[in-house]
Amino acid sequence: MNYYNEIKNELINNEITKKVKDYSKNRSDLSTYYNVGKLLSEAGKHYGEGIIKEYSKKLKEDTNLKYSKSSLYVMLKFYRFINQNNFQTLSGNLNWSHYCELLSINNIDEINYYIMITEQQNLSVRELRERIKNKEYERLDDKTKEKLISSKETSVVDFIKNPIAIKNTTNKEIISEKVLQKVILEDIPNFLDELGSGFTFIKNEYKIKIGNRYNYIDLLLYNIKFNCYVVVELKVTELKKEHIGQIEVYMNYIDRNLKEINQDKTIGIIICKKDNKFIMEYCSDSRILAREYQEI
């Protein structure tokens, strides 16, 4: 079998397809690069992986197609990636560059997670790269990972990362809740992404009246996907019992005064400097989560 001619034909046909059939570019790329990777794998068994350098040089000479040694090697890696992880079909919502970002991940469950969120949230390649870089999957709760593996139903709290990565672009030292709030508001889209999908921002310093006294909720959010309000309280200390009591009061207020009958109960998130699991163990309200934050 002439592996080089097969590879050349695959790449030339793909170039023609991309020019003529714009709608099928992505599918053609993935299919072509998989087939080229397969041929390179078989050729390597006969001639050694050094054949990649030779094929790259010949492609440039014969067709003027500039497929470098490294680009052909990525196709080989892509073929092995698909086979090793037993993918039956490839997502049409991910392009070649998306899959290239996934090649460095060895855990199939982690790979499936990033494919899922890329499909659901229509992530660009840059956004996917950022999620992987920030180790988003690793910061999910183990119970959430189990739910994803076994395809069990998830809830609004499952995808809230721990710790939450907060981008500090202000260069201010976070010494108070006010400063932490300002840092979050500087990049609210990133903060909402850290919480999961479906979160929308309503207001910071949301004013409520309890008795004769006004109180202010640090951040009031709403989750469209799970149809519920979300109260966020910010603390720059370790979690304390009074923090739990405070957020419970706020959650109950929202349930009584804002929540409609068709909406789910409000959940609460306490973002603190250090999570004190001993206190959370004895918190009876499962709607309250404590999450550490880390600056990036």
Q: Give the tens place of pLDDT for each residue, 219-250.
A: 999 999 889 999 999 998 888 888 999 999 99
Whether 143 is in a domain gets the answer no
Within this chain, do residues 285 and 183 fall inside the same structural domain, yes or no?
yes
Q: What angle do CA 60, 64, 70 make, to 5 degrees?
A: 45
C-alpha to C-alpha distance for 105 and 111, rounded to whole angstroms: 7
Which domain covers residue 229, as residue numbers? Answer: 153-295
Whether 93 is in a domain gets the answer no
**115 and 82 Cβ atoms separated by less than 8 Å:** no
Encoded amino acid at 205, one letter: E
**Tens digits of residue pLDDT in 243-253:** 999 999 999 99
Q: What is the mean pLDDT of residues 106-134?
A: 93
Within this chain, do residues 190 and 61 fall inside the same structural domain, yes or no?
no
Q: What is the mean pLDDT of residues 194-218?
A: 94
Within this chain, do residues 59 and 157 fall inside the same structural domain, yes or no?
no
**18 and 11 Cβ atoms separated by less than 8 Å:** no
**Higher-pLDDT residue of 257, 165:** 257
pLDDT attached to residue 284: 59
Q: How far is CA 220 from the centre of its chain?
A: 23
Q: How many domains does the chain have?
A: 2
Within this chain, do residues 187 and 75 fall inside the same structural domain, yes or no?
no
Within this chain, do residues 76 and 157 fall inside the same structural domain, yes or no?
no
Whether 133 is in a domain gets the answer no
| H helices present in the chain, as ranges | 3-20, 25-47, 51-63, 69-84, 96-102, 108-121, 125-133, 142-149, 177-186, 188-195, 241-257, 277-281
Instruction: Report pTM.
Output: 0.81
Within this chain, do residues 76 and 165 fall inside the same structural domain, yes or no?
no
Give me the residues paired with residue 37 across strands. none
User: Does residue 49 have a pLDDT over 90?
Assistant: no
CA distance readout (Å), 32 to 24, 66, 133: 12, 16, 28
Question: Which residue, of 26, 51, 84, is where some domain finishes?
Answer: 84
Whether 94 is in a domain gets the answer no
Within this chain, do residues 167 and 247 fall inside the same structural domain, yes or no?
yes
Whether 95 is in a domain gets the answer no
Question: Which residue, of 34, 68, 84, is where some domain finishes?
Answer: 84
Within this chain, do residues 256 and 162 fall inside the same structural domain, yes or no?
yes
Report the share of the chain in percent with pLDDT over 90. Answer: 49
Which tokens belong to 206? 């949301």
Whether 118 is in a domain gets the answer no
Whether 105 is in a domain gets the answer no
Whether 110 is in a domain gets the answer no
What is the number of other CB atoms lying within 10 angstroms of the CB of residue 144?
21
Q: Residue 291 belongs to a domain with what CATH number?
A: 3.40.1350.10
Which tokens belong to 246? 């405070």
Q: What is the mean pLDDT of the chain?
A: 87
Question: Which residue, of 65, 84, 103, is where some domain finishes?
Answer: 84
Q: What is the mean pLDDT of residues 258-278?
A: 83
User: Does residue 85 have a pLDDT over 90?
Assistant: no
Q: What is the mean pLDDT of residues 82-94?
A: 83
Given the structure tokens 């709608």, which residue do they identify? 23
Within this chain, do residues 162 and 253 fall inside the same structural domain, yes or no?
yes
